[in-house]
Structure 1
């Protein structure tokens, strides 16, 4: 009886050990994939920004395309709309999702065009609240001061996607959620969307 009990315990330990090791391996594999995904985005941005024969307007266009392909704009837009998502109509939601995508990539994409000559590094990837946080830095050419940017990443529809940019500890989507919902409360959804449309059109005109 004692032998059988010991064998059962040993089997249970081996069984648990197998699945624990398997889970750790899967986590390590996912963390590695997230690191590679973010590194590729950062390096693409720097490569475009460093193209000497490319005009600023063309750099802007190419960097916007890199950012657009890397994010899940619909998820971000729904998060930013927050409590107003449920109370808005379907046409309002569709309009906001399209507008917010254009607003986001045309606001933040062009900022990276000045990152020419920098080095991009992902220092660490950690799992946090169901997301992966890639803690990263852009190292300037002529200074020891690095620009810290964390990328919140999750697998969406079978692919990795960026859901948030966190610069110096400040979340982009949390900040815009607060700003946009305050504007909707004051002006109403349709008025807010009209004003956002105007902002997007002005952003697209910038070079």
Structure 2
């Protein structure tokens, strides 16, 4: 049986997906707590539907990718996962990398939706933190006590999107930065090689 810690970390990955220091929002336009909470309210409704849809795993993965793109700031998350190496990538490389990263995240974490069938996410509150908003949710998985997951939301890209998720002090963005960094190291810094690997990974 999986440990509670493993399951909880898997949950964070699965729903964000979603979700690094170089890309933290530095300013917000006019995003309010109500707007940030509304975004996550809608995302949670969609996530709960997928979790309890009864669809095949492939069907849930496809739905997860749509949710990730709709509510997550994929370019920001992808670029921050690449870190400082994003500055030396060409525009075409960044575009290709972002698309490959999107598919990689969807496959890697969408596969774990089966672990959360029968679970439920509830939005609790929203508050401004520096230049972004933090929306707190409560997650109930079968056989476990509820635990908190926080979505970090910004409108830096021009639309309200979540750019990270935090659970028990663990940032999904920072976790993915470590993963992508390790993949790039194995390619000896070759971004094109990383893109090729991401297309097959997950």
Same fold (TM over 0.5): yes
- Name the one with the larger helix percent: 1
Q: Which has the higher contact order (CA 8 A, sep 6+)?
A: 2
Distance change >3 Å, CA 141–CA 181, structure 1 → 2: closer
Q: Would you say 1:197 and 2:196 are equivalent positions?
A: yes
Given that 1:151 and 1:162 are in contact with CA atoms closer than 8 Å, whether structure 2 keeps it comes out as yes
Q: CA deviation at 1:187?
A: 3.6
Report the Cα distance in structure 1 between the residues aligned to 2:78 and 2:194, rounded to whole angstroms. Answer: 16
Residue 42 of structure 1 is matched in structure 2 by: 44
Residue 130 of structure 1 is matched in structure 2 by: 131
Residue 21 of structure 1 is matched in structure 2 by: none
SS in 1 for 2:155: strand
Report the Cα distance in structure 1 between the residues aligned to 2:158 and 2:95, rounded to whole angstroms. Answer: 22
Report the Cα distance in structure 2 between the residues aligned to 1:155 and 1:97, rounded to whole angstroms. Answer: 19
Larger Rg: 1
SS in 2 for 1:162: strand
Residue 11 of structure 1 is matched in structure 2 by: none
88-97 vs 98-107, which moves further: 88-97
- What TM-score do you get using the length of structure 1 for normalisation? 0.70
Cα offsets for 1:82-116 (capped at 9, x unmatched): 21122233333232222212222222233234323
Q: CA deviation at 1:161?
A: 0.7
SS in 2 for 1:75: helix
- What TM-score do you get using the length of structure 2 for normalisation? 0.72
Alignment of 1:168-183 (within 5 A): 168-183=168-183
Cα offsets for 1:12-67 (capped at 9, x unmatched): xxxxxxxxxxxxxxx8x811221121122122111222123x32322222222222
Distance change >3 Å, CA 110–CA 147, structure 1 → 2: farther
> How many equivalent residue pairs?
173
